[in-house]
Structure 1
Amino acid sequence: MMESSEEDDDFPSIESITPQSKIDSVHQSHTEKGIRKLCCELLDLKDAVENLCGNRRTKYLAFLRMSEEVVEMEHELVELRKHISSQGIIVQDLMTGVCRELEEWNQENADTNDPPLDPKVDDVQEEMDDPKKKFLEKIDVLLAEHKVEEALEALEAEERNFSGDSSTESSSYKSSFLERKAMLEDQLTEIAELPAVSANELKKALSGLIKLGKGPSAQLLLLKSRGSRLQKNIEVFLPSCSVCPKTFPAALSRLVFSMISLTTRESGLIFGDNPVYTNRVVQWAEWEIEFFVRLVKENAPPSETISALRAASICVQDSLNYCLLLESQGLKLSKLLLVLLRPYLEEVLELNFRRARKAVFDSMEVDENLPLSPHFVSAVSAFATSSNSVLVDSGMKFLYIISDILEQLMPLVVSHFGGNVLPRISQLFDKYMDALIRALPGPSDDDSLTELKETIPFRAETDSEQLAILGIAFTIMDELLPSMVVKIWSPKNENQEPGNENIVPNASTTTELKDWRRQLQYSFDKLRDHFCRQYVLSFIYSREGKTRLNAQIYLGGDGEDSQWDTLPSLPFQALFAKLQQLATVAGDVLLGKEKLQKILLARLTETVLMWLSNEQDFWGVFEDKSTPLQPLGLQQLILDMHFTVEIA
């Protein structure tokens, strides 16, 4: 019974199983309800969107109506202001008339004992007061109607006719006169500070301030107006910087320097050549240039990208050209601009060359569509074989990266910052030589090269492969790199003009290029010497570590029975044969590189002589007095040395 109950629990009876038809009907009903509910929600959402669109149209039309009402209200306010001004004049006239009538009434009712006033004096006083009051009233009307030019002319004319009377009436009138003058100054200042003021209106307002004796204030208003206008233009332009990251400095520099030129010209026309005004314009221009450089840094691409290098180069080129044009207006801003741009450009150069070092050694695979000159491709591909394609690809990639950097540099960048570019190219070439040294067999004496151990996935085992490495390195050092650099450096020499500070003299350029080529030669010599050293050592020492050039060969014989052989000893004959074999291979691999072949063979024999001169074990044999050197052995040694020198 227990077993039966357990089976019932594990396997329920057939009556508890739900039929498939019921399951289908339940799921179908739930699905239909869900779809209906979703359709209702979509319809509600559609109605809400339509209502929202309708509300937006309604609000937009309401906004247009409100805008029209605002414009009408502004016109009404202007008319109301004029009306209030005219009403004020009427009230003032009424007050003047009432005061006059009261004065006449008081005179009629005055005590008869009082001495009568002299009618002539009273008439003269009234005649004096009436023109002054009328003048002040006229100025008030002109100021109320914003007729600043007419008010200025009237004030100037009155000031010329103004007497130096120090009486109470004159002091009161002078105070009122100066008050109107200050009101006119405020109106002119308001006009100059308007955001949308035209150039003609601004010029008239500034001229008016100058006539009022406010020249410094007028120039500050001019500089403020032009600076505000420049700021607005820049704010409109900046969002487009990301669209053209390489060329945006050109447009930005045009905005800044054109405004500086315009402001300088306007200041000269309005304020003349007064040094006070000129110095203030120069100071303002320097502030704007500092702001310009800061904007370039903030909106430029990341400094390690090639786009940043192009942007910085264009910035230097265009800015210096604009500075050169501004010199005709008396502004010398080139030095300041170079001081401000130098840290930024040097940072961009340094980060780009760091990126170049990583790009050269990270991967040796080269895109077949690299935009390299056909001359460069053919020069490097001449050393290509089926076994060293990776090596050729590395050379082409190195050339492409250098070419890509140099093509971003503009002539004026080369003129002023070429001294910073050339050493970085030589450093990159030196790192490339270190990597090629790792591709040659044999240990390296430079411990710092251990980090490049896995740089090039290629090991040159045969003589032809090793010579191909030397051929590629020599071609890059002697032909291709100088060709690239001279192509970029030459335009500035062709366009050089006397007295142009933006062009580096020929002598300086020649010295820089000579020093640079000397550095390239030094880096290549490291690779060449490493090859020669390991090649000579592989001949001198056998795999067991024994030397083939052993001084014991000169100690044999007793000097009487032996005959002197006029031929070099066998090890030196073998050395000569090995060098001849290498020369044959070099003639095939380094075809057309006779200069390199001669240098290489000469350096190999020099390496043999250097090894002999420094090998103490070789010469220590002759110092052993127990086995003295016989005359025939000495003659053979001398012959071998002469033979080695002749090979060299």
Structure 2
Amino acid sequence: MSFRNTPNYESPDDGSRRRELLLFEEEDFSPTSYVLDRLRPTEKEKETPWKAVVYRNFCACVGERKVNCSAANTKNDLKVMIAELKKLQRKSAKEMIKSMLSHYDVFIQASREVTGLEVDILKLRTLLRSRADVVLSLATMEWPVLDSKHSDISSDIHMGEGSITSKFDDKAKTFPDAFDVLLEERRIDLALSALEEGEDMIDKGYDSTNVEDNLNPVKSISAAVLHVALSERRIRLVNYLSDVCRQVSVRGVELRSAISALIRLGEGNRAHTLLLLAHRGRLEHKIHGLRPSGTSYGGAFTAALSQMTFSAISQAERDSLTVFGAIPAYASELVVWARGVTEIYAHQIKQHVLSSAAAAGGLRAAAECVQIAFGHCSLLEAQGLSICPLLAKVFRSSIEQALEANLKRIEESVTAMVSADDWMLTFHPQTPLFDSQLGRTRSVKRNLNRESVKLSCSAHRFNCMAQDFMAGVSPLVSMQLAGVALEGLAVRFNNYVDMLIKAVPDFSEVKREQTARTVVEQLGLLSNATALANELLPRSALKLLPGIEKSCEGILEKAQVKEADIESTFIPELKDWRQNLRKAVKRLQFHICKYHVKLLLYSADRNELQINPATYLILDVEETKTSLQPDCMPSLVFQLLFARLNSISEAAEVAFIDRGVVTPLLARLLEVFVIYMDEDKFWSTIEDCPSRIGPTGLKQFVLNMQFIIQMASSSGWGSRSLHSLLTGLTSRAVHAFAATGADPERLAVQVQV
């Protein structure tokens, strides 16, 4: 890359630097031109491949025509850049939120550990401070000197008591024993009150070291001894209360009393953890007693387990709020605990219900269990606990397995029906079409119109199983499985269309079973695929979008609007899915058309084309030999084409095939026929052969093209693509004739189609 004109910023010449910088202040300064000028390689640099590639890529991005870009273009570029930066900012914010949610449990655990560490540090600081006060009081204590005046008193004391005693010392000695009695008698409230009283005594003992206050100077020592004794008994009381909370039989008021006692002892974090552990222990005990059996399997087992689990979560939340209040740290711990309990519940459901249902393809059973679980879980939403996303994450793999097993069962069942299908179109045997008692209400009439679609037995089987499949998936829309279900159903429909394509006859020697040999049977193949792709499957897909189906039905009652238009209006996300289905129908349509075109174009031995360049080249030779004018009739193969199209149309009318199936087929058949005439092999002979097309051959070619146009326009089989193909072929024939030196205008041939 050349930067030969770039100013040398390391040069000491400030004047030249200033002149270079003035270039950027000019009004007509173009950043693109400046960069292109610096990127354009010299003659020597062109030998370096990567430099030339960089220059070409940059030119391709900005375009040489935009070198002199205006201020408006620069403004638009800035807007685009700002929009891209905002998009990047939103994406970054989403990634940050996603990362935060994924590490939420770790964050809460770290917060709890930090909070617990802070509490331990405060306790340690308090203990060290109390011990320091004891040491300081002992070091600074002034022992009174007993003079002769007090010698009698001192001797009396030593003789009477043997040591310095006081009321405080006596109470300090008896207090631990009294506390032990209360603790043994399980009188927790009195023990807590006594502990608080002892702490007050310790504080007074530390604060009193003066003899003039009528207190003994050794009172601080007694307070220190009492402090050590009460600390040991505090630990015993905390351990006892913790053991009480861990017992499965303790619940309700007794549990809350023990938790409140721990809070009075300053063990709030431990008390909250024990509260949650107590609820979890009782829940695990209940789950252990609940075993899936023949009567409590599936929905009943899920309902019972859901009632236990989410009732325990709800009760734990109420106890937490009642005892501890709305403290953020405890609320976070409750959320983490609820997620852990929910995971245990979800794995129980997955192990005992969903796994077997998924393996057997029981989609309805799996959907019922998931719906029950979500129903109980949604009751916690009002209390501020959102557990449904976690359930969806755990259940998703099993539900996807059930979906796949169900789709596989659909494919296997339809494959078995295809092998025995006779391709005759009938109404479904379970359709109440002829029940006069059911046809009185408007809703039933609408259902009759919907269900009165003639299909073959394999298509009826596919439709019924697809309807059941969508009905089973509809309760699972909250798990974002609609796309997976639609994609899987589209794959099975494409596989079904492949089976229909194999039923279309071909010219191979391989024998096939259940081949649709007659025109009516081939129309039955296409009717199956068209009805499923355009009506039945899109209608079943409406079940995945609650509320949409009723809206569409209401509009259909008020106005004569096609259901396809309604679906495309309300559900734009289904457009791509419908296009995928229609592409499969077009594949089947093309194979049917290809078969009929080959019947027309090939001779009986299948070795020679009925339409070839010689058909037109030989006309001028025969006219020269016989001096006879050819008949103004289309070629024989085009007459056979017209007869073939009419026979297909008549067969469709006799079999009551919908014109929405037949008309696109005939239009496509005309296109495929004309496409065979657009091959290079056909035109290379006409354009490059020494004996090129003559006036008679050109007239016959144009007549054939005009015949197809008239046939298509009069019967409604025309299309823009067909018109474009015919116009191109006619123009190409005229150009080939003009290449011989003749004047096409002298033939009075209507070239413009």
Select the structure with the greater relative contact order (CA < 8 A; seq sep ≥ 6).
1
Shift in Å, 1:215:
1.3
The 1:199/1:347 distance shift into structure 2, 3 A limit, reads same
CA contact (8 A) 1:609 1:644 kept: no
* Aligned positions of 1:615-630 closer than 5 A: 616=681, 618-623=682-687, 625-630=689-694
* Aligned positions of 1:265-276 closer than 5 A: 265-276=318-329
Query: Deviations 1:470-512 (Å, cap 9, x if unpaired)?
Result: 11221122111112221343347889xxxxxxxxxx9999243
Which of 272, 283, 290 is 1:219 aligned to? 272
Is it true that 1:540 corresponds to 2:620 in the alignment? no
CA distance in 2 between counterparts of 1:325 and 1:431 reads 43
What code does the residue aligned with 2:619 have? Answer: G
Which of 597, 600, 613 is 1:551 aligned to? 613
Is it true that 1:427 corresponds to 2:467 in the alignment? no
Structure 2 match to 1:602: 667
Counterpart secondary structure, 2:677:
helix
Query: Deviations 1:497-540 (Å, cap 9, x if unpaired)?
Result: xxxxxxxxx99992431111111111111111111111111122
CA distance in 2 between counterparts of 1:612 and 1:327 reads 68
CA contact (8 A) 1:136 1:177 kept: yes
Counterpart secondary structure, 1:622:
helix
Is it true that 1:294 corresponds to 2:294 in the alignment? no
- Residues 288-297 or 317-326, more deviating: 317-326
Structure 1 match to 2:539: 483
Structure 2 match to 1:394: 458
Structure 2 match to 1:525: 586
Identity %: 31
Counterpart secondary structure, 2:367:
helix
Which of 333, 353, 359 is 1:280 aligned to? 333
CA distance in 2 between counterparts of 1:429 and 1:590 reads 24
Shift in Å, 1:278:
1.8
Which of 200, 214, 221 is 1:168 aligned to? 221
Query: Deviations 1:76-121 (Å, cap 9, x if unpaired)?
Result: xxxxxxxxxxxxxxxxxxxxxxxxxxxxxxxxxxx99983228999
CA distance in 2 between counterparts of 1:246 and 1:283 reads 27
CA contact (8 A) 1:282 1:331 kept: yes
CA distance in 2 between counterparts of 1:406 and 1:439 reads 28
Which of 187, 194, 197 is 1:147 aligned to? 187
Structure 1 match to 2:297: 244
Which of 634, 637, 648 is 1:568 aligned to? 634
CA contact (8 A) 2:431 2:448 kept: yes
CA distance in 2 between counterparts of 1:406 and 1:441 reads 33
CA contact (8 A) 2:241 2:258 kept: yes
CA distance in 1 between counterparts of 2:429 and 2:225 reads 85
Structure 2 match to 1:470: 526
Is it true that 1:583 corresponds to 2:583 in the alignment? no
Is it true that 1:128 corresponds to 2:190 in the alignment? no
Structure 2 match to 1:336: 390
Query: Deviations 1:220-274 (Å, cap 9, x if unpaired)?
Result: 2111111111112222223237743355434433332232222122112212222
The 1:198/1:335 distance shift into structure 2, 3 A limit, reads closer
Shift in Å, 1:397:
1.6
Shift in Å, 1:637:
0.3
Shift in Å, 1:586:
1.5
Structure 1 match to 2:314: 261
CA contact (8 A) 1:533 1:607 kept: yes
The 1:492/1:619 distance shift into structure 2, 3 A limit, reads closer
Query: Deviations 1:7-40 (Å, cap 9, x if unpaired)?
Result: xxxxxxxxxxxxxxxxxxxxxxxxxxxxxxxxxx
Shift in Å, 1:164:
4.6
Which of 214, 220, 231 is 1:178 aligned to? 231
Structure 2 match to 1:207: 260
What code does the residue aligned with 2:605 have? Answer: E
Shift in Å, 1:412:
4.1
CA contact (8 A) 2:361 2:402 kept: no
CA distance in 2 between counterparts of 1:212 and 1:535 reads 93
CA contact (8 A) 2:157 2:163 kept: no
CA distance in 1 between counterparts of 2:301 and 2:675 reads 59
Is it true that 1:417 corresponds to 2:481 in the alignment? yes
The 1:414/1:551 distance shift into structure 2, 3 A limit, reads farther
Query: Deviations 1:435-490 (Å, cap 9, x if unpaired)?
Result: 1111110169xxxxx9xx97xx4221111111111112211221111122213433
The 1:507/1:325 distance shift into structure 2, 3 A limit, reads farther
The 1:202/1:625 distance shift into structure 2, 3 A limit, reads closer
Structure 2 match to 1:459: 515
CA contact (8 A) 1:139 1:151 kept: yes
What code does the residue aligned with 1:152 have? Answer: L
Is it true that 1:403 corresponds to 2:462 in the alignment? no
Structure 1 match to 2:743: none
Counterpart secondary structure, 1:195:
coil
What code does the residue aligned with 2:483 have? Answer: G
* TM-score between both structures, scaled by the size of structure 1: 0.70
Cα RMSD for the two superposed structures: 3.6
CA contact (8 A) 1:230 1:259 kept: yes
CA contact (8 A) 2:504 2:592 kept: yes
Unaligned runs of 5+ in 1: 1-110, 385-391, 445-449, 496-505
Which of 624, 633, 637 is 2:697 aligned to? 633
Which of 367, 379, 384 is 1:313 aligned to? 367
Counterpart secondary structure, 1:458:
coil
Shift in Å, 1:201:
0.3
CA contact (8 A) 2:279 2:312 kept: yes
CA distance in 2 between counterparts of 1:266 and 1:516 reads 50
The 1:287/1:156 distance shift into structure 2, 3 A limit, reads same
Shift in Å, 1:380:
8.3
Counterpart secondary structure, 1:302:
helix
Structure 2 match to 1:115: 155
The 1:321/1:443 distance shift into structure 2, 3 A limit, reads farther
The 1:460/1:244 distance shift into structure 2, 3 A limit, reads same
CA distance in 1 between counterparts of 2:652 and 2:680 reads 29
- Residues 398-407 or 239-248, more deviating: 239-248
CA distance in 2 between counterparts of 1:216 and 1:185 reads 13
Structure 2 match to 1:52: none
What code does the residue aligned with 1:439 have? Answer: A
What code does the residue aligned with 1:438 have? Answer: K
CA distance in 1 between counterparts of 2:406 and 2:525 reads 26
The 1:113/1:332 distance shift into structure 2, 3 A limit, reads closer
What code does the residue aligned with 1:174 have? Answer: H
Corresponding pairs, count: 508
What code does the residue aligned with 1:282 have? Answer: V
The 1:588/1:335 distance shift into structure 2, 3 A limit, reads same
Structure 1 match to 2:407: 353
What code does the residue aligned with 2:463 have? Answer: L
CA contact (8 A) 1:415 1:492 kept: no
CA distance in 1 between counterparts of 2:161 and 2:592 reads 121
